[in-house]
Amino acid sequence: MLDAFILILFMVIVGALIGGVTNSLAIKMLFRPYRAYYIGKFKVPFTPGLIPKRRGELAEQLGKMVVDHLITPESLQKKVMNDDFQKDVTRWLSEELQPVFTSDKTVNEWMDILQVPVSSERLNVWLEEWIAVKIKDAKASYTSQTLEEALPEKWQEKVAENIPRLVDFIAGRAETYFTSPEGKMKVKIMIDDFLKERGMLGNMLGMFLGNTSVADKVQPEIVKFIKHEGTQEILFNLLTKEWSKLKQMKLEEFIDRLPEEDLIMTAQTSIVKLVNIEEHLSKPLSHWLEPHKQAFFQTQLPKWVDRGTDLLSRKIPNLMEKMHLQQIVQEQVESFSVGRLEELVLGISRREFKMITYLGALLGGVIGIIQGIIALLIS
pLDDT, tens digit, 9 for 90 and up, residues 16-53: 888 888 888 887 777 777 777 778 778 777 777 777 77
**171-191: per-residue pLDDT in tens?**
888 888 878 888 878 877 776
Give dist(CA 145, CA 151) in Å, integer.
Answer: 10
pLDDT confidence band for 221 (50 / 70 / 90): confident
Please compute the mean of the pLDDT values over residues 107-120 and round it to a whole number: 84
For the chain, give the percent of residues with pLDDT over 70: 90
| pLDDT for residue 198 | 54
Q: How far apart are CA 31 and CA 175, in angstroms?
A: 115
Instruction: Note the pLDDT tens digit of each residue in 49-88.
Output: 777 777 777 778 878 887 787 788 888 888 888 889 889 9
Mean of pLDDT values over 272-294: 88
Dist. CA 212–CA 208, nearest whole Å: 10
For CA atoms 276, 277, 282, 288, the dihedral sign is positive
Using 50, 70 and 90 to split pLDDT, how confident is the model at 91? very high
Dist CA 76 CA 95 (whole Å):
24
The stretch 91-101 carries a mean pLDDT of: 89
Q: What pLDDT is recorded for position 1?
A: 61
In this predicted structure, what is the pLDDT of residue 213?
Answer: 59
Q: Please say if the pLDDT value at position 125 is more than 80.
A: yes
The confidence score (pLDDT) of residue 212 equals 45
Q: What is the pLDDT of residue 256?
A: 65
Tell me whether the omega of the peptide bond preceding residue 45 falls within 30 degrees of 0, making it cis: no
